[in-house]
Structure 1
Amino acid sequence: MTTYHFVGIKGTGMSALAQILHDSGETVQGSDIEKHFFTEASLNEKNIEILPFSADNIHEGLTVIAGNAFNDEHKEIVKAKELGLPFFRYHEFLGEWLGKYTSIAVTGAHGKTSTTGLLAHVLSENYHTSYLIGDGTGKGHEDSKYFAFEACEYRRHFLEYHPDYAIMTNIDFDHPDYFTSIDDVFQAFQQMAKQVNKGIIACGDDEHLQHIQANVPVLYYGLSDTNDFQAQNLTESEQGTTFDVFVRNTFYATFTIPQFGTHTVLNALSVIALCHYEGMTTEQISKLSTFGGVKRRFDEKEWKDQVLVDDYAHHPIEITATIDTARKKYPDRELVAIFQPHTFTRTKAFLNEFAESLKLADAVYLCDIFGSAREDSGKLTIENLQELIPEAQLLELEETEQLESHSEGVLLFMGAGDIQKFQQAYETQGQEKSV
């Protein structure tokens, strides 16, 4: 019996895939650096062994799956190839694994993780479902009918997949270290669309997605009345957001989600359209109302008289959406943005857009740019962004106590690097003071 060994098992996608294989009855282990990462808790719960990187981990009888962050010179990958072991990159293995199920790829520049999480929740409430979410959550079942998974466009990795369905949330220019232009991004999504076997659920409010060509039906969703599935009459309460859905201009049903912000309604609408197309009842689909959210997407906690929010937002559109959510949920409270840019290439490409989105907050703190080891910083520094935002302050890890001055504020810790350490430092120094 083979054992699956994951090189870089703490990665969000890798962790999720490891859990899926484990839940499906396979023997799983993995290796990674020893620094703590938030995905470890789920792996530990399932007693999946995590080893420090070493060539000695690799031996006969293993099937090796490597994370995309590790090149072919990595010592474990070199050893696996020397021994002639079955070897896959993450996206290659996932592409093969999908064939066992009715597969639904969720892709787009923004909203993938939240939408995959919501879709997995609704499907799981009604059927045996396997799912892989970009927050490191994965679940498998030997009798799964559906497989919902997040499909990333970066380096065109999603072209390894030939899913039954694809939900496409939007097309936007991101990953400027790889894509050359918005047209380059569009061509990647266009190629993906040609690989879908049954149907595409696409946001019709996105001008780029309106031009997608496919060999299968394309159902459009959105707020404008040209869409096949349209949300109308959005109302917000303490419980979340309630809206009516019209299918081709005919009233279908009313749904409630426990989230806030227009983008969360669009995410829900894509799930409603997919489930409707698969013949599910409104009663089944209304399980939307019990979705608790995904990790690092508006993760809230009460802290003294403040609310602390951890959010993965690392693109100007995502920052705008996070601030919009906070504004709708906490209309009478001060919103404080604490932002750590992720990669120098993205910061440089969107410098002005970052400034404009952050200005939507009432106060702004900036943390040093979280760079990739693979990129050259050039002369770009966090001060270049600070200059574009009046009254923005720089935040050092040792000086987080200044955030205490925002009494009853909502503190939005945003970024894709290690922004969590600033929140942890703030909580730690607050505890020390109160002792």
Structure 2
Amino acid sequence: TLLIVNGDDERVRKIAEKAKKRMITYGVHASNNLVLSDFREFGLSSSFNVSFDKTDLGRFDLSLPGFHNAKNSLCAIAFLMEIGIPISKIREVMPKFLGTKRRLEMVGETKNGLKIMDDYAHHPEEIRKSLNALKEAFPDRKIITIFQPHTYSRTKSLLSEFIASFIDTNKLILLPTFASKRESSNSIMDEEILLEFNKIKKNVIGIEKFDNVIKYVQQNVNDKDHLVLTMGAGDVYEIGYQILKHDK
């Protein structure tokens, strides 16, 4: 049995050590087996250096933005090395991986140059990392995030973390919460959530209907200076496709 472990997380490392199994650690700290360094980002792509047990493995390219994606790729590198795939082959195939559906996915671009992307993130840490990656990838564009909270229970319990996670967006459009099957839609709670956001952030607006969100985008941010990101685990992704459908 082999454990491939995020060695930068002390809690994870300690738990893994208790299993008393063979372990490969990865991360940015020199104490790890697989170490990432010199991370650089180029639009929606990135590159970085990797070493294994102090031996330089060279530079790797990834067709994905974000430091978190580069760090996650170390897991794949560790696994492929373990099963005997040559480093040269790993380096060759990594840029061919274009990501997964709804993870910083490029949906399209309007005739006026507005880029539209979609991301499944619905937890504060995921949101923060995705927005930071986009800010680094598109420093000259203002990011308009259309966020659909997922479940009232999660949103309420992590509300302060959610509010803080949107630090890298220029404008936040907050939709009603996408309730779970065990919950009912609650417009009063949606208003309370929006109120809490507005207490701390001045760049937040609440829009209830998808059609009104589409109109807002068409009338206010449909140009090459902006990037629209739909975000959440519900059906918010439909907005991006509808914007492009109406852009004819």
Question: TM tier, shorter chain?
Answer: 0.7 to 0.9
Q: Provide the residue aligned with 2:162 in structure 1.
A: 354
Which residue does 1:136 correspond to in 2? Answer: none
- Per-residue CA deviation, residues 178-226 of structure 1 (Å, 9 max, x unaligned), is xxxxxxxxxxxxxxxxxxxx10101112232121121321211001111
- When residues 391 and 255 of structure 1 are mapped into structure 2, their CA distance, relative to the original with a 3 A threshold, is closer
C-alpha contact 1:202 1:220 (8 A) present in aligned 2 = yes
In structure 2, distance between residues paired with 1:313 and 1:380: 24
Q: How does 1:153-232 map to 2 (within 5 A)?
A: 198-212=1-15, 213-232=18-37
The letter of the residue matching 2:3 is: I
Does residue 298 of the first structure (1) align with residue 104 of the second (2)? Answer: yes
Structure 2 distance, partners of 1:386, 1:402, is 18
Q: Which amino acid aligns with 2:26?
A: Y
Partner AA of 1:267 in structure 2: N
Match of 2:215?
Answer: 401
Secondary structure, aligned partner of 1:393 = strand
Among 351, 375, 385, the residue aligned to 2:193: 385
Structure with the larger RCO, 1 or 2 (CA within 8 Å, 6+ apart): 2
Q: How many residue pairs get matched?
A: 234
1:311 aligned residue = 119
Confirm whether residue 289 of structure 1 aligns to residue 95 of structure 2. yes
Contact 1:339 1:415 in 2 (8 A): yes
Say which one has the larger Rg: 1
Superposed displacement of residue 325, structure 1: 1.7
User: What is the CA–CA distance in structure 1 between the aligned matches of 2:36 and 2:159, rounded to whole Å?
Assistant: 33
Distance 1:226 1:271 in 2: 19
Judging changes above 3 Å, is the alpha-carbon distance between structure 1 residues 427 and 379 closer, same or farther for their aligned structure 2 residues? Answer: closer
- Which amino acid is 2:217 matched to? L
The 1-side partners of 2:24 and 2:146 are apart by 38
8 Å Cα contact 1:238/1:329 also seen in 2: yes
User: C-alpha separation between the residues in 2 aligned to 1:211 and 1:383?
Assistant: 42
| TM-score normalised by structure 2 residue count | 0.87
1:49 corresponding residue in structure 2 = none
Preserved contact between residue 128 and residue 167 of structure 2 (Cα < 8 Å): no
Alignment of 1:357-376 (within 5 A): 357-375=165-183
Over the matched positions of the two proteins, sequence identity in percent amounts to: 29
Is residue 416 from structure 1 mapped to residue 237 from structure 2 by the alignment? no
- Give the TM-score normalised by structure 1: 0.51
Q: Which amino acid aligns with 2:63?
A: P
Distance apart, 1:312 and its partner CA = 0.5
Query: What pairs with 1:15-414 in structure 2 (closer than 5 Å)?
Result: 198-212=1-15, 213-238=18-43, 240-286=45-91, 287-300=93-106, 301-304=108-111, 305-375=113-183, 381-387=189-195, 388=197, 389-395=201-207, 396-399=209-212, 400-404=214-218, 405-406=220-221, 407-408=223-224, 409-414=226-231
| Cα displacement (A) at 1:239 | 6.9
Q: Contact (CA 8 Å) 2:7, 2:27: kept in 1 or not?
A: yes
Q: CA deviation at 1:275?
A: 1.3
CA contact (8 A) 2:47 2:61 kept: yes
From the superposition, tell whether residues 211 and 257 of structure 1 become closer, same or farther in structure 2 (CA, over 3 Å): same
| 2:110 counterpart letter in structure 1 | W
Per-residue CA distance 1:125-174 (angstroms, 9 max, x = gap): xxxxxxxxxxxxxxxxxxxxxxxxxxxxxxxxxxxxxxxxxxxxxxxxxx
